[in-house]
Amino acid sequence: MTALAGQIALVTGASRGIGAATAQALAAAGAHVILTARDARALEAIEDAIFAAGGSATIAPVDLAEPDGIARLATAVAQRWGHLDIMVIGAAMLPQLTSVTDIDQTAFNKAITTNVLASQALIHYFDPLLRKSADGRVIGLTSSVATSPRAFWGAYAATKAAFEVLVDCYAQEVRNISKVRVAIVNPGATRTAMRAKAYPGEDPASVTTPEVVAQRLVSLLGEQFTSPHRESVNSAS
């Protein structure tokens, strides 16, 4: 596949799960992928896999919760490539599932920082680079609990609801003044470490693999979708 040949893509949360699978799928489609996550060693493993498959990638270990981490990353991307064609916001933190009355404030603050504040910072710092692309696209990964809250999911659901509002508003703000298009995608039930944490008794084989989601995201990037676009890949949540 060379549908994305020559394009520069940034994937957050690229060290494992859907982020890693998406990075590999983007590279297979011809994009040069910037892999971002906290775990440098895990990123190196994904980079090696991309190289082994004939793809192209660069690792950029960053803790999105660091005050200046995203700004430094954007500066580095601007200096090396001058623009950004694709940004996939996949990094997220799942705090402990508990009642609203028992939410741990420290963990909740960390989830807000990772899932909401860092996402806004990514949009803020990379919007100028996306506007320099001939076809800039942003995909934000969400969860069904953002719009269909469930008991004991309050902390995570609140952060993803805020995330969706930010991404949706951004899409509306730029759609008539730039070529940037934005999609909000719910992967649904997917075989990831985060899902295993949330559903410890579930048989992993009963849900689809991250590669299924990744292939859909790459396919979506090749479509002329209306922004903001919303969809769910797997019907189960």
- Give the model's confidence band at 67: pLDDT under 50 very low, under 70 low, under 90 confident, else very high: confident
Q: Return the DSSP state at 203.
A: -
pLDDT tops 80 at residue 97: yes
Order of strands across the sheet that contains 86-89:
56-59, 32-36, 8-12, 86-89, 137-141, 181-186, 229-232
Spacing of C-alpha 103 from chain mean position? 25
Q: d(Cα 46, Cα 20) in Å, to the nearest integer?
A: 7
Average pLDDT over residues 6-32: 97
Residue 186, judged by CB atoms within 10 A of its CB (0-12, 13-18, 19+), counts as: buried
Q: Could you tell me which CATH number the domain at 8-232 has?
A: 3.40.50.720
Average pLDDT over residues 38-48: 96
pLDDT at 237: 41
Average pLDDT over residues 128-153: 97
- Give the model's confidence band at 234: pLDDT under 50 very low, under 70 low, under 90 confident, else very high: confident
pLDDT at 61: 96
pLDDT tops 70 at residue 69: yes
For the chain, the residue count is 237
Percent of the chain predicted with pLDDT > 90: 91
47-54 CB contacts, 8 Å cutoff, 24+ apart: 49/24, 50/23, 50/24, 53/24, 53/27, 53/28
Model pTM score: 0.95
Average pLDDT over residues 195-214: 92
pLDDT tops 90 at residue 182: yes
Q: d(Cα 226, Cα 220) in Å, to the nearest integer?
A: 11
Average pLDDT over residues 18-24: 97
The answer to whether the beta carbons of residues 140 and 182 sit under 8 Å apart is yes
How crowded is residue 47: how many other Cβ atoms within 10 Å of its Cβ? 21
The answer to whether the beta carbons of residues 95 and 107 sit under 8 Å apart is yes
Token pair of 17, please? Answer: 């799960």
Average pLDDT over residues 133-137: 96
Q: Cis bond leading into 228, ω under 30°? A: yes
In the predicted model, what is the mean pLDDT of the chain? 95
pLDDT at 235: 55
Among residues 46, 178, 204, 63, which one has the least CA distance to residue 121? 63
Residue 212, judged by CB atoms within 10 A of its CB (0-12, 13-18, 19+), counts as: middle
pLDDT digits 0-9 by tens, 150-180: 999 999 999 999 999 999 999 999 999 999 9
The answer to whether the beta carbons of residues 100 and 153 sit under 8 Å apart is no
Indicate the range of 75-84, 136-145, 172-181, 190-199 predicted with least confidence: 190-199
Residues 6+ apart with CB under 8 A from 198: 94, 97
pLDDT at 3: 87
